[in-house]
Structure 1
Amino acid sequence: MSTPHVLLGLLATGAMHGYELKRAHDERLPQARPLAFGQVYATLGRLLRDGLVAATGQERLAGPDRTAYSLTEEGRATLDRWLGSVESPMPYVNSALFAKVVVALLVADVERARAYLIAQRRTHTDRLRELTALKTAPSVSVDEVVAADYAIAHIDADLRWLRTTLERVADWHREVRP
């Protein structure tokens, strides 16, 4: 995920201070890892330095001063370029699940590797049920449905891969131990 571009997109809806940006990020991308406040403010500092956002005022409520930021014309152009570019599929498999399965097959006996794959499949299936229930909950937002659909598609792909891997392990076990 490109945090700077997401923050630019959020600022395209209107000026916000760091706390509001963090809250908006976490609400609008509900299945994404929540942003840390430090990450928000560090990113805002870089966007300000690069002329993509401008400080538009300060307010003090009960705590420290809060600086509001808004998108500059250069920031809007950067956001438009980012939104207009197509994302390439990931060139490498970068998944803890994939790495763990490969290592389990490398160092564990076949039955232990199968047990891991089955347990992982159960965990994925449970999460799939949770996400499906979330989509049908009362007063669910379109952001939550879109995020759940995205997560469901990825979990479904993982489940298909786990099933294929279990079949391969079973075939391999039959070939090695007739």
Structure 2
Amino acid sequence: MSVRHALLALLSEGPKYGLQLRQEFEARTGEVWPLNVGQVYSTMQRLERDGLVEADPDEPAQPGPQRTYRITEAGDAELSAWLRTPPQGDAPPRDELLIKVLVALRLPGVDLPAMLQAHRTHTIGQMRQYTRLKEDAADDLALLLIADAQLYRLESVVRWLDAAQSRLRDHSPEPSSPAPGRQEQPHRHGAAR
């Protein structure tokens, strides 16, 4: 998510001070993504440095809670370009769950099917929470859009976990039969031998 561009969007409505930007950002995003006030000020400093916003010249040069910012023409152009440009999808984003599964594939003693099922169960629980949120926020369009986006994202995670489980089954080696005269030792994941 581009905090930089979201702050430019808020400033396109008129001048605002730092604390006000933080409060409006959180209100507009359904308070799902808390924003640290220090992040607002550091972002505003970069935007000012890049000529995309300007501070009221009659106020102190140091950022502070009452320093008023306004968007510049260059900021308007940047905001407009950002709104029209689809997000980059060249390389997949780092996904902790995918990394966890890829690492677990090579770890001895990991019960990967059980791990996938635990994540699936947790994700379905999250989906239930967002479904309840939608029911409770029937009149809050921003919250409904956030809940819909999360539900679609979580649904895709469940589908991927199902596909991973299926691939794991397809690629699991067949159990070999013991050589004649030898008794096969039971294999227990994670158990000491």
TM-score under structure 2 normalisation? Answer: 0.79
Shift in Å, 1:35: 2.0
Paired residue for 2:116? Answer: 117
Q: Deviations over 1:16-69 (max 9, x none)?
A: 2111111222222237542221111001011112221122366xxxxx751121
Paired residue for 2:51? Answer: 51
Instruction: Return the structure number with greater strand share.
Output: 1
Q: Deviations over 1:153-173 (max 9, x none)?
A: 111111000011112222333
**Cα RMSD (Å) of the superposition?**
2.1
Shift in Å, 1:75: 1.1
Paired residue for 1:16? Answer: 16
Distance 1:123 1:28 in 2: 28
Paired residue for 1:86? Answer: 86
1:148 aligns with 2:133: no
Q: Rg: which structure is higher? A: 2
Distance 2:90 2:156 in 1: 14
List structure 1 runs of 4+ shifted beyond 6 angstroms. Answer: none
Structure 1 portions without partners, runs of 5+: 59-63
Distance 2:65 2:37 in 1: 15
* Partner-residue secondary structure (3-state), 1:39: helix
Equivalent pairs: percent with the same residue? 33
Paired residue for 1:35? Answer: 35
Distance 1:170 1:65 in 2: 57
* Partner-residue secondary structure (3-state), 2:67: strand
Give aligned pairs, total.
171
Distance 2:44 2:126 in 1: 34
Distance 1:52 1:78 in 2: 8
Q: Partner amino acid for 1:95?
A: D
Distance 1:90 1:83 in 2: 19
Kindly report which structure 2 residues correspond to 1:57-72, keeping only aligned pairs within 5 A, or say none.
Answer: 66-72=66-72
* Partner-residue secondary structure (3-state), 2:55: strand
